[in-house]
C-alpha cells in the first residue's frame, strides 16, 4: 500500500495550506487564500486547500495514513517557555501563561485541525495526527525537499513558531540534527516585521515592500545597531523598541503595533502613504543592512564549519524570502549551493511536516524542482466560466479559441508590441511567486511597461521592482553569478549590457530577482520566451503575479475574469482562449 501523508498548516493564524505526499511524491499543494480570496487567509484552516489536494489525487479521507501538522507541544523542562517568560516579565500575564499554560496555542490549533478534518469527512477515531515542531517542519521543507543527501547546513529564520524564532542545524542521509534555536522575543523576523509596521505596511505581508524600498536609501545615514545584537552566540532584540507586547506597544487609532512609543520618539512618526520618501527610505535601508549583518554573523557562527566542509545550505522560514540576504549568502566563497524552499513562509510548513513524517516512516521524498502543484483548468472550464460571467454581469465577453501550437507566438507578439498580457495556464503555483502560470507578463525592453502595469493594473507602489523570467540559456549571460534560480528566491547583479537590454526588470541597485527556467518544468512558458527572443533578441519576460494589490494570486478562470475587468488590462490568455477588451 502507498504511504499517503496530508500536511496541514495554519498553526500561527496565517497562511494556511495543504500538501499531499504519496510514496514520497508531492502530488498537490495549495494555499487556502487562493480559494477563499482572502490574502493570507488569517485565522482560517486549510479546508478548501485540503479538499483540492484529495480531489487532485483522486483519494478519499480514509486513504490518508497520517495527517502531519507543523506545530507541536513544548516541554516545560526545556529552555523555550522559561526564556519567553523571563524576557517578557514586564507583561506578567503573558509570562505566567507561558509557564502555566504554555501549550494553549497547540491545543487550540489541534482542535481546529480536528474540526477541519471532520468537515472533510475524516473519521477522527481512525485518523493519525502527527505533530512536527514548527521549525523542524521549516527545516524539512528546505533540506528534504532540496534533494540533498550529503552533509548540509540548515538555516531557519522567521517570526516565531511555538516559541522558537531561529533554527540552526544540519542534515545528512535524510536525518535532521538540531544545533541551536533562539526563542521569542529574540527574533530577527519579528524585528523586521515590527519595522515593516513602522514603515506603514502590514506585518507578514509588507516585508517585501521594505526590502524593495531599501535600495533607494542609504544605510549609513542611521545606525540601527541598538535594535538587536549577536554576541557570544546569542541573539538579543531590544524590547524597549521592538517585538513588544502589552502596554509597551505603540497604539494609533485603536490598533497596537509590535514597536514601542520609544521607537517613534527616536525615528519620528510612523510612515503613511505610498511614496518612498525620506527619511523612511534610509530607515528601510538600515533595517535591511542590520538584518543581513546579523543573519550572516549567526550563520557563520553556527554553520560556518559545515559550510566550509560541504558548501551546501538549505534555508526556510519567512526570512528566507529575503532575496537580498540570499544574494549575500550565495556570494560567500564557502557556499557552493543554496536551496531556498520556494514557499518558505508558513505555507511551506505543510510540505515540510508531511515530508518529515514521510522520511521518518522510511519513504524519502523527491526533490521539489517546481511549484506547479495547484488546480488546473481546461479550455472547456474556461469557456464555461466566460458563459457564467456573461450571464452574471450582463455583458458580452469578446473571446476566441486559438490553436494550442500558436499560443506562445501570439502572446509573444502582443508583448513585443508593448502590451501587458494576463497569462493563465497549467497548474497554479504554490508559494508567493508567480512563475509563469498565473502571471501578468510584459516585454522588459519596452520602455515604461513596468510603470504602466504598476499604475493601471497592479495599483501598487511605483517604486516596487518587477522581476524577470528567462530562458536557462540567458541566465549565465545576464548575471555575474551562475547559480540555479528556478523560484525567484535570489537576486543577482546584472551585467552592464543587459541593464540596457531589459531595463524594466533591473532594480534601482542594479540587480534582478530572477526565475531561470528549464523547459522540462514549463514548456509553454519557455516556448513563449523563446518566441519573444526571436522578436526582440532577449529571451526574457517581465513577470509579476496575476492579481491586484491586496488580493491573493488568481486561482480560477472566474477569478481571472473578475481581475481582468477590474483593471486596465487589455488581453487575457487562459489556456488556448484569448479574451480581448472591446474597443481595441
* pLDDT for the residue numbered 335: 97
- Tens digit of each residue's pLDDT (9 = 90 or more) over 397-452: 999 999 999 999 999 999 999 999 999 999 999 999 999 999 999 999 999 999 88
* pLDDT for the residue numbered 461: 74
DSSP assignment of 43-110: T---HHHHHHHHHHHT--GGG--EEEES-----TTSSHHHHHHHHTTTSHHHHHHHHHSTTHHHHHHH
* pLDDT for the residue numbered 41: 97
Asked if pLDDT for residue 341 goes beyond 60, the answer is yes
* pLDDT for the residue numbered 5: 98
- Tens digit of each residue's pLDDT (9 = 90 or more) over 210-229: 999 999 999 999 999 999 99
- Tens digit of each residue's pLDDT (9 = 90 or more) over 2-19: 999 999 999 888 999 999
d(CA 405, CA 527): 10
* Separation in Å, CA 426 to CA 71, 247, 264, 527, 576: 32, 50, 47, 14, 11
pTM: 0.97
* Separation in Å, CA 581 to CA 377, 395, 398, 421, 554: 22, 12, 7, 12, 19
Asked if pLDDT for residue 354 goes beyond 60, the answer is yes
- Tens digit of each residue's pLDDT (9 = 90 or more) over 545-583: 999 989 999 999 999 999 999 999 999 999 999 999 976
Helix (H) or strand (E) segment spanning residue 7: strand 4-8
Strand partners, 400: 578
* pLDDT for the residue numbered 583: 60
- Tens digit of each residue's pLDDT (9 = 90 or more) over 127-181: 999 999 999 999 999 999 999 989 999 999 999 999 999 999 999 999 999 999 9
Asked if pLDDT for residue 281 goes beyond 60, the answer is yes
Q: Kindly indicate the confidence band of residue 495, based on its pLDDT and cuts at 50, 70 and 90.
A: very high
Contact 543, 515 (CB under 8 A): yes
Over residues 18-35, mean pLDDT: 98
Secondary structure letter of residue 457 according to DSSP: I
Secondary structure letter of residue 220 according to DSSP: G
- 462-489 residues labelled b (16+ CB within 10 A) or e (exposed): ebbbbbbbbbbebbeebbeeebebbbbb
- Tens digit of each residue's pLDDT (9 = 90 or more) over 458-492: 777 766 889 999 999 999 999 999 999 999 999 99
d(CA 430, CA 433): 8
Asked if pLDDT for residue 274 goes beyond 90, the answer is no
Asked if pLDDT for residue 526 goes beyond 90, the answer is yes
- Tens digit of each residue's pLDDT (9 = 90 or more) over 391-408: 999 989 999 999 999 999
In this prediction, what percent of the chain has a pLDDT beyond 70?
A: 99
Over residues 492-506, mean pLDDT: 97
The torsion of the CA quartet 491, 496, 498, 502, rounded to 10 degrees, works out to 80
From the CB of residue 175, how many other CB atoms can be counted at a distance below 10 Å?
Answer: 11
- What does the mean pLDDT of the chain come to? 96
Which domains, ranges and CATH numbers included, belong to the chain? 4-146+345-360 (3.30.420.40), 188-340 (3.30.420.40), 379-580 (3.90.870.20)
Residue appearing with cell numbers 523571563: 86
Residue appearing with cell numbers 488590462: 569
Q: Say whether 195 sits in a helix, a strand or coil.
A: helix
- Tens digit of each residue's pLDDT (9 = 90 or more) over 90-108: 999 999 999 999 999 999 9
Contact 271, 198 (CB under 8 A): yes
Amino acid at each position: 500500500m502507498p504511504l499517503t501523508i496530508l500536511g496541514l498548516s495554519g498553526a500561527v493564524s496565517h497562511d494556511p495550506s495543504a500538501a499531499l505526499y504519496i510514496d514520497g511524491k508531492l502530488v498537490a499543494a495549495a494555499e487556502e487564500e487562493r480559494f477563499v480570496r482572502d490574502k493570507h487567509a488569517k485565522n482560517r484552516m486549510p479546508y478548501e486547500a485540503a479538499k483540492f489536494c484529495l480531489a487532485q489525487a483522486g483519494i478519499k479521507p480514509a486513504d490518508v495514513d497520517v495527517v502531519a501538522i507543523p506545530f507541536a507541544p513544548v516541554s516545560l523542562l526545556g529552555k523555550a517557555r522559561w526564556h519567553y517568560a523571563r524576557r517578557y516579565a514586564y507583561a506578567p500575564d503573558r509570562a505566567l501563561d507561558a509557564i502555566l499554560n504554555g501549550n494553549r496555542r497547540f491545543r487550540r490549533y489541534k482542535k481546529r485541525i480536528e474540526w477541519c478534518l471532520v468537515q472533510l469527512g475524516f473519521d477522527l477515531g481512525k485518523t493519525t495526527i502527527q505533530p512536527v515542531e514548527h521549525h523542524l517542519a521549516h527545516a524539512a521543507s528546505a533540506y528534504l525537499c532540496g534533494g540533498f543527501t550529503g552533509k548540509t547546513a540548515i538555516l531557519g529564520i522567521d517570526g516565531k513558531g511555538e516559541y522558537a524564532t531561529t533554527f540552526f542545524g544540519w542534515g545528512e542521509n535524510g536525518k535532521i540534527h538540531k544545533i541551536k534555536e533562539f526563542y521569542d522575543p529574540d527574533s530577527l523576523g519579528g524585528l523586521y516585521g515590527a519595522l515593516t509596521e513602522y514603515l506603514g505596511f502590514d506585518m507578514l505581508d509588507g516585508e517585501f515592500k521594505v526590502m524593495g524600498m531599501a535600495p533607494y536609501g542609504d544605510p549609513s545615514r542611521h545606525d540601527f545597531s541598538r535594535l538587536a545584537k549577536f554576541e557570544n552566540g546569542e541573539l538579543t532584540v531590544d524590547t524597549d523598541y521592538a517585538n513588544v507586547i502589552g502596554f509597551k506597544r505603540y497604539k494609533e487609532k485603536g490598533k497596537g503595533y509590535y514597536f514601542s512609543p520609544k521607537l517613534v520618539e527616536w525615528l519620528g512618526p510612523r510612515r503613511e502613504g505610498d511614496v518612498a520618501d525620506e527619511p523612511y527610505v534610509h530607515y528601510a535601508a538600515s533595517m535591511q543592512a542590520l538584518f543581513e549583518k546579523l543573519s550572516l554573523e549567526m550563520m557563520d557562527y553556527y554553520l560556518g564549519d559545515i559550510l566550509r566542509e560541504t558548501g551546501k545550505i538549505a534555508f526556510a522560514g519567512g526570512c528566507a524570502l529575503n532575496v537580498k540576504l540570499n544574494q549575500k549568502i550565495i556570494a560567500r566563497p564557502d557556499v557552493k549551493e543554496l536551496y531556498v524552499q520556494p514557499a518558505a513562509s508558513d505555507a511551506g510548513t505543510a510540505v515540510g511536516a508531511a515530508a518529515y513524517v514521510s522520511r521518518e516512516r522510511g519513504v524519502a521524498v523527491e526533490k521539489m524542482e517546481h511549484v506547479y502543484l495547484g488546480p488546473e483548468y481546461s479550455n472547456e472550464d474556461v469557456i464555461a466560466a466566460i458563459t457564467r460571467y456573461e450571464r452574471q454581469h450582463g455583458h458580452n465577453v469578446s473571446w476566441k479559441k486559438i490553436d494550442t501550437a500558436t499560443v506562445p507566438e501570439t502572446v509573444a507578439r502582443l508583448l513585443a508590441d508593448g502590451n501587458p498580457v494576463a497569462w493563465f495556464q497549467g497548474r497554479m503555483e504554490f508559494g508567493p511567486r508567480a512563475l509563469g502560470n498565473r502571471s501578468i507578463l510584459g516585454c522588459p525592453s519596452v520602455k515604461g511597461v513596468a510603470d504602466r502595469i504598476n499604475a493601471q493594473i497592479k495599483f501598487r507602489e511605483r517604486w516596487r521592482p518587477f522581476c524577470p523570467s528567462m530562458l536557462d540559456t540567458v541566465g549565465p549571460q545576464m548575471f555575474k553569478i551562475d547559480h540555479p534560480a528556478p523560484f525567484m528566491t535570489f537576486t543577482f547583479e546584472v551585467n552592464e549590457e543587459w541593464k540596457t537590454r531589459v531595463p524594466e526588470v533591473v532594480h534601482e541597485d542594479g540587480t534582478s530577482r530572477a526565475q531561470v527556467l528549464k523547459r522540462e518544468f514549463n514548456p509553454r512558458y519557455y516556448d513563449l520566451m523563446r518566441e519573444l527572443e526571436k522578436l526582440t533578441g532577449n529571451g526574457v519576460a517581465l513577470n509579476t503575479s496575476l492579481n491586484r494589490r491586496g488580493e491573493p494570486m488568481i486561482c480560477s478562470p472566474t477569478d481571472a475574469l473578475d481581475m481582468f475587468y477590474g483593471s486596465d488590462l487589455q488581453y487575457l490568455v487562459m489556456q488556448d482562449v484569448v479574451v480581448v477588451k472591446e474597443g481595441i
